[in-house]
Structure 1
Amino acid sequence: MARRTYCTGLLFLSLGTACTDDPLVSTPASDSQDMSGGPTSFDPPPTATTGDEPTTSEPGTTSGPSTTEASTTSEAPVCGDDIAEGAEECDFGKANADDGGCTIECKLATCGDGLVWKGVEQCDMGSANSNDYGGCRPDTCHWAARCGDGILDPDHETCDRGELNGTGVTDDELAPCDLSCGFYGRLLFVTAAKFAGNLGGVSGADLKCRAAASQAGLTNANAYRAWISDDFQSPATRFEQWELAVPLILPGGLVVADDLLDLVDNGPHTGISRTETGDVVHQELVWTNTSAFGEIFSVTDHCDAWLSASDALEARQGLNALAVEDGPDWDIWRDERWWTSYLNLRCHEVAHLYCIDDGFVLAEER
């Protein structure tokens, strides 16, 4: 029986052949194809063409978009590449900085941009720049008059020592300056007003001090106490800040003592010669009944606990200051503590009061 042998795609009927006896693995031809040599399922189908369109790509012609043309889309400027281009005003590369001449947004540093150009500008508050006290000048971005510039501005400051502000250090006889350009210390003043001995008790004397401080616009006005004693209480027993290590100062900044303990131990450095309004007074008597150590001077002579203005009663008084703080009289005034214990006066007479801030708040507590 003859068998079919497949060889190079041709059909032979032969009993002897060099082709393999095994049929090729392929998909049989369809029944519609001619077995005498038509295409088989493994022959590639002819390429379909339509009309006059070319069947192969020829130079210069394609059937779709060209892949040889280069894309020419432009790139946006990059701030920080050290090249100023496009909308960039500058570009210093890695040197761009908001405290430098070219900002991190590649904008030129200018006074009014709200950024402080290091080494060129002292300040920059942007649209808030002004020539007002404490402001930043809009034309130069340098500070206007302000606390800390070392120049006293009487409309806004009582002192200004520049870098010494807030250090507790002073370079003259006046008190140190605090960070708000006020004198650092507890105010001590002698009242401008005089009173008879019926003060309304020790508490009434305190109220008179507070009224004077309030009318003068002093800080801590409601915390002032009078330097006065009756028969059972004295400054040493009723002052809440007896041991506070803060200078005692007069209005105007003159230092009276390093603190209350220095005042009673060594006496005042100067006369207590300023009223709550800063006026200067000398040789004035002051109701006290208080010893040099801040204690009760007499248990009987205190105008009936400061409730009487009788001419039959009397109380101890101090002498506030001398006009000349030099010579023998000055030495006696200091050594004998005449400021608080000088003589007795009848209670119907009038005299001043010493008032001390007993509500001082330390800067670190504010």
Structure 2
Amino acid sequence: MPRNTDLLALLVMPLGTACTDDPLPSMPATGGGSGSPTSFDPPSSSSTTSEQPTTTEPTTSSTTSTGDLTTGPDGSVCGDGIVGDEEQCDLGAANANTGACTLECKHASCGDGLVHEGVEQCDFGLGNDDSYDGCRPLDCQYGPRCGDGILDVEYEICDRGELNGTGVTDDEFAPCSLMCGYYGRLLFMTSQQFNGNLGGVSGADLKCRAAASAAGLPNANKYRAWISDNFQSPETRFDQWDLPGVPVILTGGLVVADDLLDLVDNGPHTGIARTEFGETLFKERVWTNTSAFGEIFSIDDHCDGWTAADGSLQARSGINALAVESGPEWDSWRAERWWTSFSVFTCSALARLYCIDDGFVLEQED
């Protein structure tokens, strides 16, 4: 047993001075590993047993996940059907991002970016607003939009609600397309007049396309002129001669014929009184040389293939419309197809062109 003087000497020994070959209990044994003192927990004040060292980083999340369930900081598990302190709701297996309680155990609410089926029509989260085609932030119902059956003149030409895209109409105007435009092949009379030198039949097509483009009409580069020379006519030139069920319409939506075959079989229902810009004109001369059936009317009366403005030459022309669509003159205009074949006109005079969309694309609903 050491003497008291020896014990005193041990108590006042400076730090780091070894009196034995054994390591101190709070230091790593030499040669026993590559750790340093900072990788160990300090000794407990209540115990001389050291904790085992850890090399994992502490988690920064307040919840942990166990399989498909999420554990909150209070130990509650989202999805176990029990509402914990950190949860707003918990329907267990019925939790869904389309239901009343989300997969995060929160009540469904307008603005959370999730669509609650049967309650909300839409939810764009922070993007909700009252603008056209938007989602209302108050109740997550659709705002003004195409298909609601209410015409929004700033964005729509027509809106028949559930009838959009069906080809069905309940008045004299064209059906509505899926995009709330009029559904049909547009037929217009040019606002500009030309003499008989049109640059041939192809030149007449180009004039129609230029007019359609200037008016911002769809398929502007697909328009063709309703005109014939001595060897070609609309019946032979049009790519979409037989396109049943697609109405022929004027700018403004008025239906001229049920389709192109109805136009040639029965004539127009109304006068072709609108230009590409929607201007209304009556009793205007139109270059055609085309019969009621879309065929060549004359092998001679076409201003030398629509290349001459010679006053000694003539071409067949039509009368576009009458201001009063009743009475004997109207009956003759319809029965005798004056719209396309009325009389000859000198090639030095000015007349207009009929232009029709020959690039119509059938709609397909998603």
TM-score, normalised via structure 2 length? 0.77
Bigger drift between 306-315 and 89-98 goes to: 89-98
Q: Paired residue for 1:311?
A: 311
SS in 1 for 2:345: strand
* Shift, 1:361, TM fit: 1.1
Q: Within 2, Cα distance between the matches of 1:126 and 1:248?
A: 43
Q: Within 1, Cα distance between the matches of 2:240 and 2:318?
A: 22
SS in 1 for 2:176: coil
One-letter amino acid matched to 1:175:
A
One-letter amino acid matched to 1:190:
M
2:183·2:247 contact (CA, 8 Å) conserved in 1?
yes
SS in 1 for 2:330: helix
Q: Within 2, Cα distance between the matches of 1:325 and 1:91?
A: 70
Q: Paired residue for 1:147?
A: 146
One-letter amino acid matched to 2:321:
A
Q: Paired residue for 1:326?
A: 326
2:83·2:89 contact (CA, 8 Å) conserved in 1?
yes
Structure with the greater alpha carbon radius of gyration: 1
Alignment of 1:21-170 (within 5 A): 76-170=75-169
Q: Paired residue for 1:213?
A: 212
Q: Within 2, Cα distance between the matches of 1:244 and 1:339?
A: 21
SS in 2 for 1:141: coil
Q: Paired residue for 1:276?
A: 276
Q: Within 1, Cα distance between the matches of 2:351 and 2:286?
A: 5
Q: Paired residue for 1:300?
A: 300
Structure 2: state its 5+ residue gaps.
Answer: 1-48, 50-72
Structure 1: state its 5+ residue gaps.
Answer: 1-63, 65-73
Answer yes or no: is 1:350 the counterpart of 2:350: yes
Note the aligned Cα RMSD (angstroms): 1.7
* Shift, 1:109, TM fit: 1.0
SS in 1 for 2:213: helix
* Shift, 1:169, TM fit: 1.0
Q: Paired residue for 2:201?
A: 202
SS in 2 for 1:117: coil
Q: Paired residue for 2:185?
A: 186
Q: Within 1, Cα distance between the matches of 2:270 and 2:76?
A: 73
SS in 1 for 2:77: coil
2:74·2:85 contact (CA, 8 Å) conserved in 1?
no
Q: Within 2, Cα distance between the matches of 1:274 and 1:110?
A: 51
Bigger drift between 194-203 and 89-98 goes to: 89-98
* Shift, 1:130, TM fit: 2.1
Q: Within 2, Cα distance between the matches of 1:172 and 1:94?
A: 52
* Shift, 1:132, TM fit: 2.0
SS in 2 for 1:363: coil
Change in Cα spacing, 1:123 to 1:365, as seen in structure 2 (3 Å) is closer
One-letter amino acid matched to 2:224:
R
Deviations 1:103-129 (A, max 9, x none): 122111111111112232221112222
One-letter amino acid matched to 2:164:
N
Bigger drift between 131-140 and 269-278 goes to: 131-140
Q: Paired residue for 2:225?
A: 226
2:185·2:247 contact (CA, 8 Å) conserved in 1?
yes
2:333·2:339 contact (CA, 8 Å) conserved in 1?
yes
**How many aligned residue pairs are there?**
294
* Shift, 1:75, TM fit: 6.8
Change in Cα spacing, 1:156 to 1:75, as seen in structure 2 (3 Å) is closer
Q: Within 1, Cα distance between the matches of 2:294 and 2:211?
A: 22
